[in-house]
């Protein structure tokens, strides 16, 4: 038992000795049990550095560097613009697999607000968000593909930006699928191929 009390007394003495140094000044670096990466082998912006020949820590970006949140290049596929106007057309290769991908991404990211066939009647609209756009509206149907791409990327009004969540390629695939949805709700019988037209033509009695 006496060893226990002796150990306890030594522990208390050690704690008091350590506490006694609190508030004292020293030029020595303190002992850090958990340094939390406070001291790193790096250079800070706008500071000198002897590592580089010119003595500057700042470096010029390498060729092709793209700032975060900025388009890779000022091209239609990245911005939706052709010159100073919104462009039209899907600038990526489209096939059946790409269209299915567009359908999948639309269902995940868009249908909750705009509905499964883009009528603006998704579950969010049903729960009270009255500003959801009907994508079958003529204004949207005749809107340039590039402007729709820009809206998906940066958002508009109460619509959030999806540029950080949906890749550039997937945004164009969503637009291609949206155009298919719009066509499905606004096509006249004469525009259908003959093989499909017969399915919608009443049989003669």
pLDDT in tens, 57-101: 888 888 878 777 666 666 899 999 998 899 999 999 999 999 999
148: closest CA among 175, 115, 168, 167?
A: 175
Express each pLDDT in 15-57 by its tens digit: 777 766 666 677 887 777 787 888 888 888 888 888 888 888 8
pLDDT at 117: 93
Under 8 Å between Cβ of 57 and 49: yes
Residue 46 makes CB contacts below 8 A (sequence gap 6+) with 57, 58
Indicate the pLDDT class of residue 195, thresholds 50, 70 and 90: confident
pTM of the model: 0.64
Alpha-carbon separation of residue 41 from 49, 51, 97 (angstroms): 12, 11, 48
Indicate the pLDDT class of residue 137, thresholds 50, 70 and 90: very high
Residues 100-111: what's their mean pLDDT?
A: 96
Residue, of 153 and 33, whose pLDDT is higher: 153
Task: Reply yes or no on whether the pLDDT at 196 is more than 80.
Answer: no
User: What values do phi and psi take at 82, rounded to 5?
Assistant: -115, 100
Task: Reply yes or no on whether the pLDDT at 10 is more than 60.
Answer: yes
The beta-carbon contacts of 103-111 under 8 Å, at least 24 apart in sequence, are 103/177, 105/166, 105/170, 105/173, 105/174, 105/177, 106/174, 106/177, 106/178, 106/181, 109/162, 109/165, 109/166, 109/174, 110/174, 110/178
Q: Give the DSSP H/E element, type plus range, for residue 140.
A: helix 138-141
Residues 178-190: what's their mean pLDDT?
A: 89
Q: What percent of the chain has pLDDT over 70?
A: 91
For the chain, which domains are there? 94-190 (1.10.760.10)
121: closest CA among 112, 137, 142, 140?
A: 112
Cα dihedral 102→104→105→111 (10° resolution)? 110
- Cα–Cα distance between 111 and 158 in angstroms, integer? 15
């Amino acid at each position: 038992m006496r060893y226990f009390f002796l150990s306890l007394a030594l522990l208390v003495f050690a704690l008091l000795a350590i506490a006694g140094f609190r508030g004292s000044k020293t030029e020595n670096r303190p002992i850090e049990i958990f340094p939390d990466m406070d001291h790193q082998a790096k250079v800070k912006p706008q500071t000198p550095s002897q590592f580089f020949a010119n003595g500057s820590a700042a470096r010029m970006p390498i060729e092709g560097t793209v700032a975060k949140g900025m388009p890779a290049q000022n091209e239609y596929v990245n911005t939706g613009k052709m010159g100073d106007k919104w462009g039209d057309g899907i600038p990526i290769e489209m096939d059946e697999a790409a269209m299915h991908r567009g359908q999948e991404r639309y269902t995940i990211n868009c249908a909750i607000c705009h509905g499964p066939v883009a009528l603006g009647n998704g579950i969010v609209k049903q729960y009270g968000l009255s500003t959801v756009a009907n994508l079958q509206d003529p204004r949207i149907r005749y809107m340039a593909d590039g402007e729709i791409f820009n809206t998906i990327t940066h958002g508009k009004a109460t619509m959030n930006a999806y540029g950080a969540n949906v890749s550039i390629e997937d945004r164009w695939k969503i637009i291609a699928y949206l155009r298919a949805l719009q066509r499905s709700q606004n096509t006249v019988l004469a525009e259908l191929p003959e093989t499909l037209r017969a399915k919608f033509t009443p049989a003669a009695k």
